[in-house]
Amino acid sequence: MAYAIEAVGLIKRFPRRRKLRQIARHPFRMETITALNGVNLQVEEGELFGILGPNGAGKTTLIKLLSTLILPDEGEAWVSGYNIFHDEENIKRSIGLVTGEERSFYWRLSGRRNLQFFATLHNMSPFQIQKRINSILEILELQEKVDDLFYTYSTGIKQELALARGLINDPQILFIDEPTKSLDPVAARNIRKFIQEKLVKEQGKTVFLATHNLEEAQQICDRLAIIDRGRILSLGTPSEIRRTVSKEDRYILKVRALSAEVLEKIGRQKKVAHLSSRPDPANSSVSILEIRLLEYEAALPLVIETLVSSGAKILDCSHFEVPLEDIFAQVVKRKGADV
Amino acid sequence: MWQKILAFIKRDFSITASYRLSFFFQFFGIFFSVVTFYFIAKLFGKAAVPYLESYGGDYFSFVLIGIAFSDYLGVGLGSFAGTIREGQMLGTLEAMLVTPTRVHSIILFSSIWQFLLTSIRVLAYILLGVFFFGVSMVRPNIPAAFLVLILTILAFSSLGIISASFIMVFKRGNPLNWLIGSFSTLFGGVFFPITILPGWLQKVSYFLPITYSLRAMRHALLQSYSFQALGFDILILALFSVVLLPFSIYAFKVAVRRAKKDGSLTHY
């Protein structure tokens, strides 16, 4: 099966800058920093794939490598079926790169002029350029601002223009590096919504998103890879990753007319890992149950059936997932210790 | 290709024109430079004639061609490296490098505006000299001068591309620019004919493309030399281009690959 992006055993080391004293002592010694250490991953077409990690984990290095700005020291990768060593031009035709780097525009040109310039580098004809720019501006609602000079734009508009540039050649694969890092919550939400709904769901593009924002990764990514110190520590859907750390699902139920016998019966059920009860401070006739379930798909209906059939009234049922910060911290701690 | 060249020129013209004061002041600079050398030439009077016989005997005409066309040396040496460094510092190089346009095209096309602007400045020097300061150009051999100019640009650009290769890898401290620029100004016949130099120093001049470039340009414009009479200088310039250009392209390819391996393609 052809993947949109495939990486096998990618290793990338950078030379470490040494102090003069060190060079004087050992002039021929080479020191390196390993930015990527055996990265393997596959991204399917039409997937919104997130690469999640702290600063310095290797996210940007991986994106630069896949977009042919950097060559790996070992390993191979394919983007749109093209090899990063041999088919650089074909890869560049099929990808767009969006960074949060506002320096990458010409501040003394308007947004439109910037887009026209970069579109020309994609070998687009003047007619195609005009049509494409107008189409993107309409989707991103940038028509009003596009003829102002770039340096007058707010951070949000600059980021939207970066997205516009990444889309200018209508690429099938989009590499997006921390698109919301400098944005306010509303602007960030709009960008995420645009990526998930417009680009991936509607247009079927493959998006490879690097982020250190856990909430963002959880909200919009189909699958995630957690990376730290150049290694992929965990890979899968947010639920699958959660499962590698915690196999339990936590539920809080508010129940009226709950008897001790029913509570005991629920506690004996196979998939109930933990059960506790306390009275609701606001209403002593209501009990607050905290239940942790294994395989909730089978266990939860059974618990509810037990409560309902006993005559208890379920006033509220809330599902609490283990926070992704905890998942992330545990994955990094656990896998980091193994390394 | 032409569409891309036009796009680069439009980009660079728009950016240059947006710095309006700077754009106009450079022409004031040309005026003051011309006036300065006019009065220096008056100071020499006829004393310099013996050294300038083959150029018509007039020092002002001699030096005007020198300072005007040595601008091409500066642009040729500096523009390619300057493009890379500016792109790295501005952050725009990365955005250009993810497009299918090859890096050597980006560097080449980015320099075209600089050469165009230099041509405008050279024209300003010559027009000022001819119409206001009495420079005599009777029947200049324009086609020959144009050929010399093309070969000059090729030779200087080759050196500039080698210089850019250095910047690509080492980012700063480019010795090539300084070395060739300084030697060319001193030994290349920009401000004085090389025949004034001691014999052993004149040998240095013969290794510099600017020596042949300025000599041929002066002979074509001031003395109406024919293609045949300029043959030797044209041949040497062509040889410089034939040897340096392929080497410079190779050096640049190696530099780009090295920078990609180091991961420093867009660092400054």
CA distance A42 to chain B (A): 21
- Mean pLDDT of all residues belonging to chain B: 89
- With respect to residue A331, please indicate whether it lies within any of the assigned structural domains: no
CB contact under 8 A, A92 and B99: yes
Give the pLDDT mean for B150-161: 92
- Give me the DSSP letters along B154-218: HHHHHHHHHHHHHHHHH-S--HHHHHHHHHHHHHSSSSS-GGGS-HHHHHHHTT-HHHHHHHHHH
Residue B127 confidence (pLDDT) = 92
CB contact under 8 A, B99 and A106: no
Residues A252 and A233 in one domain: no
Q: Does A67 touch chain B (CB under 8 A)?
A: yes
Residue A85 confidence (pLDDT) = 93
Residue B144 confidence (pLDDT) = 95
Q: Does A33 touch chain B (CB under 8 A)?
A: no
Name the domain count of chain A. Answer: 2
Q: Does B119 touch chain A (CB under 8 A)?
A: no
Three-state SS string across B28-89, please?
HHHHHHHHHHHHHHHHHCCCCHHHHHHHCCCHHHHHHHHHHHHHHHHHHHHHHHHHHHHHHH
Handedness of CA B94, B100, B106, B112 (dihedral sign): negative
Residues A113 and A207 in one domain: yes
User: Tens digit of pLDDT for each residue in A302-329?
Assistant: 999 999 999 999 999 998 877 777 778 7
Output helix, strand, coil percentages for chain B, rounded to the nearest 5. Answer: 80, 0, 20
- With respect to residue A9, please indicate whether it lies within any of the assigned structural domains: yes
Residue A336 confidence (pLDDT) = 59
CB contact under 8 A, B98 and A68: yes
> What confidence category does residue A337 fall into, taking pLDDT thresholds of 50, 70 and 90?
low
- How many CB atoms are located within 10 Å of the residue A119 CB? 23
Structure tokens given for A238: 């947010």
Q: Which chain B residues touch A104 with a CB distance below 8 Å?
A: 90-92, 94-95
Closest-CA residue of A relative to B7 is A117
User: Tens digit of pLDDT for each residue in A10-68?
Assistant: 999 988 877 777 778 777 777 888 999 999 999 999 999 999 998 889 999 999 999 99
Dist CA A205 CA A209 (whole Å): 12
Residues A98 and A181 in one domain: yes
- With respect to residue A334, please indicate whether it lies within any of the assigned structural domains: no
User: Closest by alpha carbon to A67, among A272, A164, A230, A210?
Assistant: A210
- With respect to residue A338, please indicate whether it lies within any of the assigned structural domains: no
CB contact under 8 A, A69 and B260: yes
CB contact under 8 A, B95 and A109: no
CATH number of the domain encompassing residue A58:
3.40.50.300
Q: Last residue of a domain, which of A243, A276, A297?
A: A243
CB contact under 8 A, B263 and A12: yes
User: Tens digit of pLDDT for each residue in A296-308?
Assistant: 788 899 999 999 9
Give the pLDDT mean for A133-147: 91
Give the predicted TM-score (pTM) of the model: 0.83
Q: Last residue of a domain, which of A243, A272, A293?
A: A243
Lowest mean pLDDT among A195-199, B126-130, B132-136, B223-227: B132-136
Residues A219 and A231 in one domain: yes
Residues A224 and A300 in one domain: no
- With respect to residue A332, please indicate whether it lies within any of the assigned structural domains: no
Residue B82 confidence (pLDDT) = 87
Residues A146 and A295 in one domain: no
Q: Which chain A residues touch B96 with a CB distance below 8 Å?
A: 118, 121
CATH number of the domain encompassing residue A272:
3.30.70.260
Handedness of CA B203, B208, B209, B213 (dihedral sign): negative
Domain span including residue A299: 247-321
Q: Which chain A residues touch B260 with a CB distance below 8 Å?
A: 69-71
- With respect to residue A315, please indicate whether it lies within any of the assigned structural domains: yes
Residue B99 confidence (pLDDT) = 95
Residues A291 and A143 in one domain: no
Residues A16 and A136 in one domain: yes
For the CA atoms of B187, B193, B197, B199, the dihedral, rounded to the nearest 10 degrees, stands at 100
- How many beta-carbon contacts under 8 Å exist across A and B? 87
- Give me the DSSP letters along B159-175: HHHHHHHHHHHH-S--H
Q: Last residue of a domain, which of A188, A214, A243?
A: A243
Residue B109 confidence (pLDDT) = 93
User: Tens digit of pLDDT for each residue in A123-136?
Assistant: 999 999 999 999 99
Give the pLDDT mean for B34-39: 90
> What confidence category does residue A1 fall into, taking pLDDT thresholds of 50, 70 and 90?
low
For helices B59-90 and B209-222, the axis angle rounded to 10 degrees is: 130
Q: Which chain A residues touch B1 with a CB distance below 8 Å?
A: none
Give the pLDDT mean for A183-198: 90
Give the pLDDT mean for B152-181: 85
Residue A338 confidence (pLDDT) = 52
Residues A168 and A278 in one domain: no
Amino acid identity for residue B108 in this structure: L
Residues A296 and A193 in one domain: no
Residues A256 and A231 in one domain: no
- With respect to residue A328, please indicate whether it lies within any of the assigned structural domains: no
- With respect to residue A337, please indicate whether it lies within any of the assigned structural domains: no
Residues A237 and A272 in one domain: no
ipTM of this complex: 0.86
The tokens 């991204």 sit on which residue?
A43
CA distance B1 to chain A (A): 9
Q: Does A126 touch chain B (CB under 8 A)?
A: yes
Residue A339 confidence (pLDDT) = 45
Q: Select from A14, A116, A120 the residue whose CB has the most chain B CBs within 10 Å, as the one to mutate to test that interface.
A: A120
